[in-house]
Structure 1
Amino acid sequence: MTYPAHTTGATSGTAFTLPDRDTKSTKVRIFGTSATIVHRTDHAEHGRRRSHGLGCLDSMELLDVLMGLPSGEAVPLSVVGPSSLRVLRRAPSGVVNFTRRSVTRLVVPAMVPLLAVVYASHWRDGLVRASEFAAYCPRMFVARELPENADEVLAEASWYGVGVAVGPRSAPMVVLEPEALSEWRPTVAWWRFCERVYRHSLDR
């Protein structure tokens, strides 16, 4: 499972906008903080899940086993461990497909996070809260205005790779772009994060 580096198309000095009609934003409460997650939905996977009555997958145990299987490729049962097979056989309909000799992973993440945005009244709070999302996607915080020591704040945010926007929530101006994730690889925790955001998007 590989995904390209995530970018939002935001440009310094311009109001942040979603780059295309397939990109949406969802408000979530996660990691003890509120954030807006910009994401792109895999419409084929979303439709496939709906046809199976399958929502989000929240089991770390199941996701861990699924990440060990290639998507859409039959894997001989003989190479899958007994404990992993037990987990897969308990999975909801639409997650995997079994034959007498093989198992095929059908499910993939239904959405991919592109950017986590937090809104904060204090710069330090914004930096700390935005950093909670460092392992999952680029992140940014939005503040009402620049402080007097703006150069220091922006330098620190840049050091941590956190983007900064300033102004009203409806149309903040990006003054520091978020850093793309370097040498990023999907993890079980990342997939679960995707599923949790997907659940919030379904509740809208």
Structure 2
Amino acid sequence: MRGAAEVCPETVSEAASVFSAGIGSDAQSRVVLQGVPAVFSYRLEAEAGRRRRAGLGAITSPDILQFLLGLPVGVPVPLAALTRPERSVLRSAADGALLVEDQCVIRLAEPPVAVGLAMVPVRAWRRGLEHAGRFAPFCSRAMVLRRPPRDLEVLRMEADFYGIGVVIAGEGAEPPELVVPPAPFHRNRFTAAGWLFLEETYRQVTRSS
């Protein structure tokens, strides 16, 4: 991660803590998603505890997530109502993701984590717009720079337009400086891609904990 930016991961985590209370997150972790090293502010959901008890880890199959998304949580669905492709996916789903009994399937799995903010350390702010922009469908976003750029006002306008926060966080004694606040995240609809993003996050943050 240090090769990707001048800002060290510890400094990015310090900057992330500025926002955590306001976005309902209680932890930070370094991840690499969408090809971008970042620090995520996140919260484990009750589902994470259920999965630990069931011995179920992250669900990273897009086909299985798409199938689960089409089922109501905790409501029996007759197996006879499933299509042949759905039955094939059902057979490949891990124990603990769903329950099959009395000729019905019951979805148990839900997203195990909520991501409030992705903090992306960068050297150049234009790259920060591009890298942080990859998380636009999933959470609020911000970039972390080590020092203010010469064209700071241009950066303010561009970042504000795209809803990407900007924090200046050097590695000295000065606290992180908020230049542009990240726009609140509003999800229009929950998709399998959005669920996969959360599962990949869950896989990485639980592996590092």
TM-score category, normalised to shorter length:
0.7 to 0.9
Deviations 1:28-86 (A, max 9, x none): 112222001111111x3112111221110110010010111111111222322221122
Equivalent residue, structure 1, for 2:120: 118
Check whether the contact 1:75–1:104 (CA below 8 A) recurs between aligned residues. Answer: yes
State the identity as a percent. Answer: 34
1:46 aligned to which of 40, 45, 48: 48
| Mapping of residues 1-204 of structure 1, within 5 Å | 16-19=18-21, 23-42=26-45, 44-168=46-170, 171-182=175-186, 184-204=188-208
TM score, norm. by length of structure 2: 0.84
Q: CA RMSD in A?
A: 2.1
Instruction: Give 1:181 deviation, angstroms.
Output: 2.9
Return 5+ residue gaps in structure 1 as ranges.
1-14
Which amino acid in 2 is paired with 1:66?
L
Instruction: Give 1:121 deviation, angstroms.
Output: 1.4
Instruction: Give 1:183 deviation, angstroms.
Output: 5.1
Return 5+ residue gaps in structure 2 as ranges.
1-16
Check whether the contact 1:140–1:165 (CA below 8 A) recurs between aligned residues. Answer: yes
Deviations 1:172-204 (A, max 9, x none): 222211112345211111111101110111111
Check whether the contact 1:142–1:169 (CA below 8 A) recurs between aligned residues. Answer: no
Structure 1 runs of 4+ aligned residues shifted over 4 Å read none
State the aligned residue count: 190
Structure 1 residues 132 and 183: alpha-carbon distance in aligned structure 2, compared to 1, 3 A threshold: closer
Give the structure with the larger helix fraction.
2
TM score, norm. by length of structure 1: 0.85
